[in-house]
Amino acid sequence: MQNISGRQTITVEKGAPLLAQGKRWDYFMRYQPFWLQGLRYRSYALVLGIAGIFLLFTLPLLSVLAFAGAMYFYRMSPFYTGVASSKRRLVQLN
Amino acid sequence: MTTITQLRRQAKDLKFAETAKPSPEQMSVFMPIGDTGEKMGDGLPIRAADWMSRKDFLNSYFSSPHTKEGNAASVYKAAFYFVVCLVLTVITFFWVNHYVAAVFAFLTGKYWSDRVVNYAWAVKWYGGRPLIHTA
């Protein structure tokens, strides 16, 4: 588009900022629930897997449920740990 | 064909030319990245930007080899040791020996002070410092 000044006019929306500054404790408290939830899910998977092995010889029907739960928590844990252990970069001013 | 006098005049003009100063938006800022280990005259390290990932940042808060490391995990660890030592103090005082109880009483106070110092250092002071992160 040419306006009267003879220059091209482009209107753009202002984008989101690339970097933001906050407190270290606030950033920690923002992402530590993901970390803890991932650890919780991993431990649930381990406990349910062990319970499934024990129930296999006593209550096979329950052991199936236990193994299903173990696999569920094992597959879901990276969705939490992955947020916490991201490669996103930070800058600390020492 | 440029003569030597013309070249000299050009060089002189370049030397005294008014160079266009960049605006503050165009100016770059020197930011030292990482820690070179160099110290200032007063013994403090040279201020630098520590460039790290979110994983390393959370790790630095969680993993502590001992309670003097000073992070959030060491607060909980010191509090846990405090409770254990307090219980052992009571048990040894009544059922073992009050000299042994004195040792556990000392450790109880040590871990209580560890908890307080680590909270003040890692949570209040360190946590209150600025952090630049992706929005």
Q: What is the pLDDT of residues A4-41, one digit of tens each?
A: 666 666 666 777 778 888 899 999 999 999 999 999 99
Tell me the ipTM for this assembly: 0.71
Q: Domain limits at B85? A: 70-128
On whether residue B95 sits in a domain, the answer given is: yes
pLDDT of residue A2: 60
| The pLDDT of residue A9 | 66
Q: What's the Cα-to-Cα distance from A61 to each of A49, A53, A64, A66, rounded to whole Å?
A: 14, 12, 5, 9
Q: Which candidate from B48, B72, B131 shows the least CB-CB separation from A27? A: B131
Give domain status of residue B30, yes or no. no
Substitution target from A14, A23, A25, A39 for chain B, most B beta carbons within 10 A = A25
What total of structural domains would you count in chain B?
1
Contact B52 A31 (CB under 8 A): no
Hey, where are the domains in chain A?
33-81
Contact B89, B101 (CB under 8 A): yes
pLDDT tens for chain B, residues 1 to 135: 788 888 888 778 777 776 677 666 666 666 666 566 677 777 776 767 778 899 988 888 877 656 666 678 888 889 999 999 999 999 999 999 999 999 999 999 999 999 999 898 888 888 888 889 987
